Amino acid sequence: MTSEGDADDASDTDLSSVLGRSDPVTAARRILGGVLRHGDVAVRIVEVEAYGGDPAGPWPDPAAHSFRGPTPRNSVMFGPAGRLYVYLSYGMHRCANIVCASDGVAGAVLVRAGEVIDGDGTVAVRRGSARGPGRARGPGNLGSALGLTLEHNGLDLASSESPVRFHLGAEVACVAGPRVGVSTAADVPWRFWIPGDPAVSTYRRSPRAPVRADVVDPAVMRKDQPS
């Protein structure tokens, strides 16, 4: 397994540069296999989802928090790249996202699942009866395993002074499919995972998504990207 210190042919100080020149899909693929650490707990990322931005941006995405433009809640999604965007889901789950794209352009990668590689004892306390690969499966469980709070929102994941750090790993093979639980753009294949990894979550389509969902052409959602 790649060590935390290995990074995109460079050091972690280049994280913002690597992600800053990446669209959400490229960033999502690149983040897979990397390690997210908070304190003594570290997880290797095995499943992610890409999210774009508002209609004026290069990859408009109606499923993204940023689709209606910047707000106090989603402002971190508009950069700079390499920041941690933490939001509360259903009033209790803290979900972690890694911001990408150039400053002022919204884009982020939701961390959906990870393999706990350090801090088993701390995770056992935080996750109670959860055992095995399910301890950090699903964005809420992953946030709980890492002990994330809304106070971590906006942290620079490459900074040596940040309590939460992200380390890029070697590029890995992945599979793509629709994002979990979204009711709009429900068929866009912007979920990526490492095939065969037991920590990857099960796909569940939103009951609010149409039977024939409002398919958004990924090429349109990446309108400034070459084919």
pTM of the model: 0.87
CA-based nearest residue to 136, from 127, 96, 91: 127
pLDDT of residue 212: 58
Q: What is the pLDDT of residue 149?
A: 97
Q: Where are the alpha helices (DSSP H) in the chain?
A: 15-20, 24-31, 120-127, 139-146, 218-221
What average pLDDT score do residues 184-189 get?
92
Compute the distance between CA of residue 174 and CA of residue 193 in angstroms, rounded to an integer: 5
Q: Is 210 helix (H, G, I), strand (E, B) or coil?
A: coil
In whole numbers, what is the pLDDT of the chain averaged over residues? Answer: 88
pLDDT (average), residues 188-199: 96
Q: What integer pLDDT is reported at residue 131 of this predicted model? A: 81
At 216, is the pLDDT very low, low, confident or very high (cuts 50, 70, 90)? very low
How far apart are the C-alpha atoms of 133 and 46, rounded to whole Å? 11
Q: What is the CA radius of gyration of the chain?
A: 16
SS3 content of the chain, % helix, strand, coil (to 5): 25, 25, 55
Q: Are the beta carbons of 191 and 177 closer than 8 angstroms?
A: yes
What are the CA-CA distances from residue 132 to residues 40, 115, 137 (Å)?
18, 9, 10
pLDDT in tens, 92-148: 799 999 999 999 999 999 999 999 999 999 999 999 877 888 999 999 999 999 999
Specify the pLDDT at position 130: 79
Q: Which amino acid is at 170?
A: A
Query: What separation in angstroms does the CA of 164 have from each of 89, 118, 152?
Result: 20, 14, 8
- DSSP type of residue 38: E
- Buried/exposed code over 87-120 (b: 16+ C-beta within 10 A; e: otherwise): beeeeebbbbbbbbbbeebbbbbbbbbbbbeebe
User: What digits encode the pLDDT tens for the residues 41-88?
Assistant: 999 999 999 999 999 999 999 999 999 999 999 999 999 999 999 999
How many angstroms separate the first and last alpha carbons of the chain?
33
Angle between the 139-146 and 120-127 helix axes, to the nearest 10 degrees? Answer: 120
pLDDT over 60 (residue 1): no
C-alpha pair distances (Å), 148 with each of 139, 142, 155: 11, 9, 11
pLDDT digits (tens, 9 = 90+) for 6-38: 433 444 548 999 999 999 999 999 999 999 999
The pLDDT value recorded for residue 80 is 96
- Which of the 8 DSSP states describes residue 133? G
Q: Could you read off the pLDDT of 139-174 as tens digits, one per residue?
A: 999 999 999 999 999 999 999 999 999 999 999 999
